[in-house]
Amino acid sequence: MGLQEQKLHFSVNLLDWYMINRRDLPWRRHNNPYFTWVSEIMLQQTRVDTVIPYFNRFIGNFPTVQALAEAPEEDVLKNWEGLGYYSRARNLQTAARQVMELHGGEMPQDKQAVFALKGVGPYTAGAILSIAFNQPQPAVDGNVMRVLSRYFLIDEDIMKGSTRVLMEELAGELIPEGRARDFNQALMELGALVCTPKAPHCLTCPVMEQCSGRIAGRELTLPVKTKAKPPRPEQRLVAIVEGRGDHRGQVLVRQRPDTGLLARMWELPHVLAAPAAASKKAAPLADEPAMALLAGSLWAEGFAARPEGLATHAEHVFSHIVWSLQVYKCTEQDQSSELPLIALEARAAYDAQAAAREDAASSSAVSPDSGTTHLSQPGIPHAQNISTSLNDGELLATSDVSDPALSTLTLTGKGDGLTYRWIGPEDMDKMAFPNIFLKLISSYFAGAYDQVND
């Protein structure tokens, strides 16, 4: 069978299979360009089963482009909370405002106009034009490249731009006339349900007979893909500051700056443990210096709080960075009497820790496998591991404290654009938190850390 016959076999059999086996997904029930657009943005790096409830809630609250464009950003982020990649939500709202201003609230049907929308790349533009408007545009994502690599036995690295161009040309040639909407969704469906990354279901594949990769025994080695650089680990200390007096029943949170990682979202105060602790070989800080360093970090921001003990371990994963979190329950202190003492303790503990690290480095005493992502803390009944994934390509910037007493500390949370406030359980429905901090704060209000002791 020649190449043209192989292509025809693929297109015909794939469409026949899809018309019988396609999933009933909420965004497929209407050829609504806005629904297609929202679903495609949500589906980037996210599983379909995870997206469905988010999509239904999002469309329920923002049913039109105009509703999304006019909504407060805090409401948009709150509806996205837990879905990850928060820049997607901000870009989506920015693009909705572009559609209102430039296209009268109607999704454009011109490829260049769609591609010009904030957050819309080649794949998303092709998906919108083909699914919403049935235009013969290829929509090539990771699933599609995997299917085409296997079926046509393509050995090119799919991480290269030239390979993507090749795949887009090939996918465009496969689209049957007048069937772009169904074909592109069928191709995505095959990659999601049958031609899966690690265990392809070749025996149930509608195009297995002419799959060159399967015939050559290469289905498990294709596609060729350069491994991404592993994320950089960081050890961070997190404070759950319990209020007293007027702040009783509340915890201290801060809002991130207007730009950068997790922009304008709310979080618990946290600090990079130490520069040396950001390497794979660095061990987490012991509790005593960790608590003093955390107290010093809060002091540098103008808050007096005394750590009581380790509450839990947590992990927060981004595209290029992994936070291993040591979370400490802290108690608000009287600012006038406690600040000098806390500053002195923080300086002494940090200097001792730094000296210990220097001694260990000079004697080559650091074991190659000493780096860990979680601590074990015997005797604390409520210690637990919390792990979330929030892949985002932007990296967190830190800045040095200008106060001479803490000049050697590297702290987050210092500089313009940060807002602190005390919140109670009733505020959780109004503010947008990254999923890891949402879990930690919710656990606190549920009493998970009531028995923490130093």
Among the listed residues 40, 168, 219, 234, the single catalytic one is 40
103: phi > 0 → left, psi -120 to 50 → alpha, else beta; which? alpha
Q: Which of 428, 414, 432, 421 is nearest to 253 (CA)?
A: 421
How far, in Å, CA of 231 to CA of 317, rounded?
8
How far, in Å, CA of 108 to CA of 6, rounded?
35
The residues with which 242 forms a beta bridge, in sequence order, are 251, 331
The answer to whether 237 touches 44, Cβ cutoff 8 Å, is no
Whether the CA torsion 422, 423, 424, 426 is positive or negative: it is: positive
User: Does the annotation mark 40 as catalytic?
Assistant: yes
The residues with which 312 forms a beta bridge, in sequence order, are 327
45: phi > 0 → left, psi -120 to 50 → alpha, else beta; which? left
Tokens of 443: 């656990």
Tokens of 284: 């987490």
Residue 258's Cβ-count burial label (10 Å; 0-12, 13-18, 19+) is exposed
Tokens of 377: 């803390």
Helices and strands in the chain, H and E counts: 16, 10
Omega before 223 cis (within 30°)?
A: yes
Three-state secondary-structure class, residue 324: strand
CA 214 to mean position of chain CA atoms:
34
The conformation of residue 260, written as its DSSP 8-state character, comes to S
The conformation of residue 160, written as its DSSP 8-state character, comes to S
Could you identify the residue written with the tokens 């289905």? 219
User: Which residues are annotated as catalytic?
Assistant: 40
